[in-house]
Structure 1
Amino acid sequence: MSSQWPSNAIVRGGSVSEGSSTTSSPLNAVQRVRNDAPLTTTFNKELVEKVTVLITKEIRRLRGEMSILREELSDLRADINTFASQIAANLPFEVLTLIFEFVCCPEDSEDHFSTNINNSFWKKPAPDEDNERSRLRVGPFYISRVCSLWRDVALKSPKLWKSIRIAVDGSAHGSRRQAALLDYWLSHSGEHPLAVGFAEDLRACRGNRNIPTRTIDILAKHAHRLYIAELLMPKGWELALSRIGEEAKLLADLTFKPVHGCQPIDDVIPFTAPRLHTVRLSRYDPRDISVSLPMAQIKNLYVKNIFDPVLAISLYPNLRNCTINADVFGMGLQASLMAPWPKTYSLQSFKLILYSRLDLELLLRRLHLPELRSFELELTTGLPSMSLLVPFLKQSAFSLTTLRLCCKDEDQRLRHQDLVSCLQELRMIRDLSLDCGEVSSPVLELMNPRKISGPDVTQFGEMQMTETWRKMISPCLVPKLETLTWTGRIRFSPLILLYFLEVRWAHGQSGGGEVAKLRSATFVQTQLQLQARIVDRLRSEGMHIEIS
C-alpha cells in the first residue's frame, strides 16, 4: 500500500483518524465516508477529494505492477519454449523417429492412407484452424518445415513416406506436379511396403475424358512394393495397370473405383497377386471391371453402391467377411432378383448398410449363409421385416454369436414383440448391439434369468407380465450374452436395469446353469441416471459399464 495512506486510517465524521486495522485500504475508507456522511451535519469535500487522489495513485501503482508481471510471465514462457526446444534438439535420432511415426502413421487408424493430398495442397494456407489441421495431415512435409534437424530426421525416416493418397488432377499441369510429388514421396520410403491410393477430384477431372498417365506410371515403377492399392480405371491407364498387376506380388488389399465422365478400360487386365485377400468395389459391378482377379483366394469383400451385390458375393466362393453398402436413395437392388442363389458356406461375417426395407427384402430372399457368425444390419429408413429376417438368421442359429441392429429412422420404433421373436431363435448370441429407437422393458426383463416377482417387485419397481409372456421366457433370452450395447432412450426404470446387471454378473460368476456372465454393458444416449454405488461396485469387480 502507498506510504501516503496510513495503514489503519479511516474517515469518520469528516476527519481522518486512526482506527481498526480491518479498514486499512482506500476502498474501505471511501466506504466509511459514504456510510457516515448522511449522519453528519457537514460533509468534508476536501477530504474526499484527497482520498480520491490517493485511490487514483494506488490504481496507477497496481497497473504498473501488472505490467511488470506480464513481462515476467512472457519471459517465463519464452524460457519454457527454449527449454522444451533444447530437449527436443537433444533427443536421439531414433527417439525423434519414433515420435514422428507415432504422429504421422497411427497404427489404430481405419484409413490406410495417413496422408491425403488434393489441389489445395499447393495453395498458400490461410492462418485459420482448418487449414492448419489440413496441413498437419501432410505429416512429413509439415515436420520438415520446423527446423533443419527435424527435416533431416523426416527425410531419413522411410516409414513416414510409405503411405499416400492423391486426388488425381486431370489437367496436364496438375498431373506433372502430382507425378513429381509422388516420385519424391516414394523415393524416400526405402523398401517399406507401400499403401498408395488415387482418388477422383471431380473439379480437377471435369471435362477431361482422358486422364494423364504420369502418376500411375510413377506408381508402376514401385509395383513390387505395393501392399495396399486404391486404383482408378480410366481409359489410357491399361499399360501401367498391367505392369502393376504383373509385379505386385505383395499386394494384399485392392480397391477399384471408376472415374466420372471417363471411358472405362476395354481390355481385361490380369492381377496375379498371390497374397491378395481383400477386394473393395466402389460404384462398380463385378461384370463391369476389366480385371481378372484370383477369386478363390479372396477372403474379404467390400462393395459400395453397386446394383448387384448378390452376384458379387457369388463370384467369390471362399469369402469370410462381406460388407454391402447401398445406403443411397434410389440405388435400387432389383438386379439381385435375377441373380443366382449363392450358397456361401464359408461366409462368417456379413454387414448390410441399406437405404430401405425393400432393399433388405430383395437381398434376404436370395442369400443362404448357414455358417454365419456375425451379422450387422443398418437401415436408413424403415424397419426390418422380422418375417424375413428371422428365417434368414435361423439358417445360422447355432453359429451366430454377434448381432447388431441399427435403424436410423427416428420416427420408427421396433416392437419388443418382434425383437423378442428374433432373439428367441438365437440362443448362441454373445455380442448384442441394439439401436432401434425406444425399446421397452419386457426385452430387458426377458434377458434376466431371475424374473422380477414377489419381494423383488417392491425392491426394483413394478413390472407387469402376462401369462403369455411368462411362457415365452423359459429359458431366458440370449443366455450366452457377454457384451450388450444399447443405443437410444429406454422406457423402464433404472432400477430394472441395475437388477439385470447385478443378476447377469452374479449368475455368471456362480456358474449356475447355462447363463453366461455379462462382462460389458454400454448404454449410449439413454439419459440414464443410475445409482453410482452399485455401478462402482460392479466396475470394481471387473464388469465394464459405460453410460453416456
Structure 2
Amino acid sequence: MHSFIETSLTRPWTTCSAMIHRLPVEILQAIFLLAVDNGPDCPSIFSYEATTISANFASPPLLFTRVCHHWRDVARSTPEIWSRIEVKLPPVSVKPLTPFFTSLLQFWLAQSDNLPLTIHMASNYSSWDGNSRLLEILCNETRRWETVIGFAPAFDSSDNFNTPQLRTLDPIWDLSNLTKFNAPKLCRVRICSLYDNILSLRPNAACGNIRHLCLHQTSVNRIHYFPDIFPRLETLDVRLLQIAPDYVLDMENHSDTYSCLESMTLPFVHGPPDMYAMIFRGHHFPALQELILLVGAGKPEVEMITEALAVAGSCNIRVVDFWLHKSRMDLYVPTLKQLLSVAQEVAVRGEVVVRREQSGP
C-alpha cells in the first residue's frame, strides 16, 4: 500500500492512467455513454473553420478513438454512443469534401451496428448542393431512422422512403410528403406549410398514426379536414393561421370529431372577429383538456375565445393557457373570469390565475 501511495504522488498521471485501464469494459462503456448523453442532443461528426472542414475528434465519441488503443476498442464495441449524429453540411465557402469525410460518416454509422438512428441535419439551403454523397449515405440507412431532424429538402424528391422505425420527423415541407413514407410507427411531425390540395390527398398509415402535429402555417379551412387525415391526433400546434377564402369545404364528406385531441395551440390571427369560432364551429372535442393561446388576454381576445369554445360540441376543456404574457401581473384578472363559463381554469404560462369554483356535494 505504501508503495502504491508513493507512486501515485510521484507519478499521478501514470497511476491514474493505469487505474483507468483496469476498469472493467462494462464500466468504461457506461462512462462513455454518460459522456455522450451529457453532451449535445446529437454529437457532431464535423467541425468547421471559415473555409475548412475537419473531423470532430475534440468531442465524444470520436474523441474516445484517439486516446489509446484500449479506448478505441471499447468505443467501437459500444454501438449506443454512435446511434445519434449531427451532420453539418459544409457551406459553399468550404473547400469540397475529400473521400475521407464520406468514409468517416460510413465508419460512424457502421459502429452503431443495427440500432435505431437519430439524425440531425444542420445546413442552409445552399449547402445541399455538392453534398449528395453524404445525403446518399444517410438515405441508405432509412430502415434504421427513428428521429430525423432538418432533413426536409431530401423529402422533396420523387423517392419513397421505407422507414419502419421512424417516430419523429421534423420538418417536412408539406402534407403530401407524408405519403412518401412507409412509417407505421410515425407519431410526431412538424410540417412547414399546409397549402397543398387536401381534397386530393390519400392518407396512408403514416398519417393515421400521428399523435403530435406542429404546423408552421395553415388555414382555418384545412383544419376542418384534420380528423379524417389524423384520426389519432392528440396534440395540435399551429403557429401561423390564415383564411383561404377560395377554398370550398365539402362539409358532408368529412368527420367532425377530434376524438383523441387533448391539447391545441393557436396563434394570434389577423382576421375577422369570429376567426377562432370558425375553427371550433361544427366540431366535437370530447377529449380536449388544454387550449394554449399565443395571444394577448385583453377583453376582445377573451370574448373571442369564450365565444369560440361555446360553439364547440362536447367540449369540456380544463384550462385555457395564455403564453404571450410574461407574468400574471400583465393581466386584468376580472376579464379572465368570463372564460370560466367554458373552462375550469385560466392560466398564464402554466400558472393558474383563476379557477372555477366547485359546486357543493
Q: Is the pair's TM-score, using the shorter chain for normalization, greater than 0.5?
A: yes
Q: What displacement does 1:123 show?
A: 4.8
Other-structure match for 2:77: 156
Q: 1:278 aligns with which of 163, 175, 188?
A: 188
Q: Does 1:349 align with 2:262?
A: yes
In 1, Cα distance between equivalents of 2:223 and 2:341: 32
Other-structure match for 1:374: 289
In 1, Cα distance between equivalents of 2:88 and 2:44: 8
SS in 2 for 1:335: coil
Other-structure match for 1:416: 333
Other-structure match for 2:244: 335
Q: What displacement does 1:377 show?
A: 1.9
Other-structure match for 1:217: 136
Equivalent residues in 2 for 1:19-34, closer than 5 Å: none
Other-structure match for 1:252: 167
Q: What displacement does 1:419 show?
A: 1.7
SS in 2 for 1:388: helix
Other-structure match for 2:348: 434
Q: Does 1:300 align with 2:211?
A: yes
Q: CA RMSD, aligned part only? A: 4.5
One-letter amino acid of the counterpart of residue 216, structure 1:
L
Instruction: Normalising by structure 1, report the TM-score.
Output: 0.50
Q: Does 1:287 align with 2:196?
A: yes
Cα shift readout 1:395-418 (whole Å, capped 9, x = no counterpart): 477643454322237899332122
Q: Does 1:232 align with 2:152?
A: yes
Other-structure match for 1:96: 28
Aligned residues: 336
In 2, Cα distance between equivalents of 1:193 and 1:160: 12
Q: What displacement does 1:119 show?
A: 5.4
Does the CA contact (< 8 Å) of 1:285 and 1:312 recur in 2? Answer: no
Q: What displacement does 1:160 show?
A: 0.9
Q: Does 1:387 align with 2:303?
A: yes
Residues 191 and 173 (structure 1 numbering): CA distance in 2 closer, same or farther, change over 3 Å?
Answer: same
Higher RCO (CA-CA < 8 Å; seq separation 6+):
2
Q: 2:234 aligns with which of 317, 321, 326?
A: 321
One-letter amino acid of the counterpart of residue 188, structure 2:
T
In 2, Cα distance between equivalents of 1:86 and 1:361: 73
Cα shift readout 1:41-94 (whole Å, capped 9, x = no counterpart): xxxxxxxxxxxxxxxxxxxxxxxxxxxxxxxxxx96974x66554443322111
In 2, Cα distance between equivalents of 1:87 and 1:408: 55
Does the CA contact (< 8 Å) of 1:336 and 1:362 recur in 2? Answer: no
In 2, Cα distance between equivalents of 1:155 and 1:104: 14
Residues 177 and 254 (structure 1 numbering): CA distance in 2 closer, same or farther, change over 3 Å?
Answer: farther
Q: What displacement does 1:124 show?
A: 6.9
Cα shift readout 1:368-408 (whole Å, capped 9, x = no counterpart): 34224332424266757122212444547764345432223
Other-structure match for 1:311: 222
Q: What displacement does 1:161 show?
A: 1.0
Residues 314 and 332 (structure 1 numbering): CA distance in 2 closer, same or farther, change over 3 Å?
Answer: closer
In 2, Cα distance between equivalents of 1:323 and 1:387: 22
Instruction: Normalising by structure 2, report the TM-score.
Output: 0.72
Does the CA contact (< 8 Å) of 1:179 and 1:214 recur in 2? Answer: yes
Q: What displacement does 1:344 show?
A: 3.5
Does the CA contact (< 8 Å) of 1:380 and 1:407 recur in 2? Answer: yes
In 1, Cα distance between equivalents of 2:137 and 2:317: 46
Percent of aligned pairs with the same amino acid: 17
Residues 269 and 294 (structure 1 numbering): CA distance in 2 closer, same or farther, change over 3 Å?
Answer: closer
Moved over 6 A (4+): 75-78, 266-269, 288-292, 409-412, 436-439
Cα shift readout 1:89-137 (whole Å, capped 9, x = no counterpart): 322111121222233136xx9x9x5224565286579xxxxxxxx987x
Cα shift readout 1:269-322 (whole Å, capped 9, x = no counterpart): 6322222233221x2326289997435523324334224376267242413323
Does the CA contact (< 8 Å) of 1:195 and 1:227 recur in 2? Answer: yes
Cα shift readout 1:482-508 (whole Å, capped 9, x = no counterpart): xxxxxxxxxxxxxxxxxxxxxxxxxxx
Structure 2 regions of 5+ residues with no counterpart?
A: 1-7
Q: Name whichever structure is richer in helix by fraction.
A: 1
In 2, Cα distance between equivalents of 1:361 and 1:167: 45
Residues 356 and 91 (structure 1 numbering): CA distance in 2 closer, same or farther, change over 3 Å?
Answer: farther
Other-structure match for 1:483: none
Pick the structure with greater CA Rg. 1
Structure 1 regions of 5+ residues with no counterpart?
A: 1-74, 126-133, 259-263, 448-476, 481-512, 515-548
One-letter amino acid of the counterpart of residue 421, structure 1:
Q
Q: 1:120 aligns with which of 45, 48, 68?
A: 48
SS in 2 for 1:420: helix
Residues 387 and 396 (structure 1 numbering): CA distance in 2 closer, same or farther, change over 3 Å?
Answer: same
One-letter amino acid of the counterpart of residue 146, structure 1:
V
In 1, Cα distance between equivalents of 2:315 and 2:328: 34
Residues 362 and 184 (structure 1 numbering): CA distance in 2 closer, same or farther, change over 3 Å?
Answer: farther
